[in-house]
Amino acid sequence: MTAVLLAIDTATEQCSVALQVGEVTYQRAAITPREHSQRVLGFVEEVLAEAKLSLADVDGIVCGYGPGSFTGVRIGVAICQGLAFSHTLPVYPVSTLAALAQQAVRKLNAKTVVSAIDARMNEVYVAGFVVQDGSVQTVTEPQMAALKDLTQQPWWPHADAVVGVGTGWQAYAEQLDPQGLVQISADVTLPLAEDMLTLAAKVTPVAAEQLEPLYVRNEVTWQKLPGRE
Which pLDDT does position 143 carry in this prediction? 95
What pLDDT, on a 0 to 100 scale, did the predictor assign at position 217? 67
Identity of the residue numbered 189: T
Q: What is the pLDDT of residue 33?
A: 84
pLDDT truncated to tens, each residue of the chain (229 aa)? 469 999 999 999 999 999 999 999 999 999 998 899 999 999 999 999 999 999 999 999 999 999 999 999 999 999 999 999 999 999 999 999 999 999 999 999 999 999 999 998 889 999 999 999 899 999 999 999 999 999 999 999 988 899 999 999 999 999 999 999 999 999 999 999 999 999 999 999 999 999 999 998 654 333 333 343 4
Ordered structural domains, the chain, with CATH: 4-95+191-210 (3.30.420.40), 96-184 (3.30.420.40)
The strands making up 24-31's β-sheet, listed across from edge to edge, are: 24-31, 14-21, 4-9, 60-64, 91-94
Measured CA to CA, the distance from residue 148 to residue 134 in angstroms comes to 31
Instruction: Determine contact, residues 163/191, Cβ cutoff 8 Å.
Output: no
Q: Give 145's strand partners.
A: 124
pLDDT in the model for residue 120: 87
Q: What is the pLDDT of residue 1?
A: 46
| Per-residue model confidence (pLDDT) at position 218 | 52
| pTM beyond 0.85, yes or no | yes
Report the alpha-carbon distance of residue 48 to residue 35 in Å, rounded: 21
Question: pLDDT value at position 2?
Answer: 63
